[in-house]
């Protein structure tokens, strides 16, 4: 199942897949008995590798998904290790997004300022 899930992430639209993974992670973190959290974190890690390659990404949608996730779970970072690990996975994805989309991020920040 892990291999199949990773292969699906490799072949899916990077933006849609990342948003779906964030949504699944949000749902999973509300159930402390959920055993898919580690798998979802691995998929987010794997999906974020695509950000560095510079493929087609909808930055607005990705940043919105990250913002919503962080706004919801950042205050709960000390609640449990699963939340802490999930936040770390999403932060790593953001770092990779910035690395892979430097020009787009600069343009976006210039446009806002």
Q: How far apart are CA 62 and CA 85, in angstroms?
A: 19
Using alpha carbons, select from 108, 67, 75 the residue that is nearest to residue 91.
67
What does the pLDDT look like over 52-77, one tens digit per residue?
Answer: 876 788 888 999 999 999 999 988 88
State yes or no: pLDDT of 110 exceeds 50: no
Q: How far apart are CA 113 and CA 108, in angstroms?
A: 9
Residue 80 — pLDDT band, cuts 50, 70, 90? confident
Q: What is the mean pLDDT of residues 65-91?
A: 90
- What pLDDT is recorded for position 102? 67
Token pair of 31, please?
């159930």
CB 21 within 8 A of CB 47: yes
- What pLDDT is recorded for position 54? 67
Neighbouring residues of 34: CB distance < 8 A, sequence distance ≥ 6: 28
What does the pLDDT look like over 21-53, one tens digit per residue?
Answer: 999 999 999 987 888 999 899 889 888 888 887
- What pLDDT is recorded for position 68? 94
Task: Choose between 109 and 94: higher pLDDT.
Answer: 94
CB 29 within 8 A of CB 35: no
Half-sphere exposure of residue 44, counting CA atoms within 13 Å on the CB side?
29
């Amino acid at each position: 199942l892990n291999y199949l899930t990773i292969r699906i992430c490799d072949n899916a639209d990077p933006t849609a897949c990342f948003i779906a993974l964030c949504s699944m992670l949000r749902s999973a973190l509300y159930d402390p008995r959920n055993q898919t959290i580690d798998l979802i974190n691995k998929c987010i890690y794997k999906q974020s590798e695509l950000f560095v390659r510079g493929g087609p990404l909808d930055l607005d949608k990705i940043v919105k998904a990250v913002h919503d996730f962080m706004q919801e779970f950042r205050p709960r970072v000390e609640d449990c290790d699963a939340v802490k690990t999930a936040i770390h996975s999403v932060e790593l994805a953001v770092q990779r997004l910035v690395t892979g989309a430097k020009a787009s991020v600069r343009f976006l920040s210039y446009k806002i300022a």
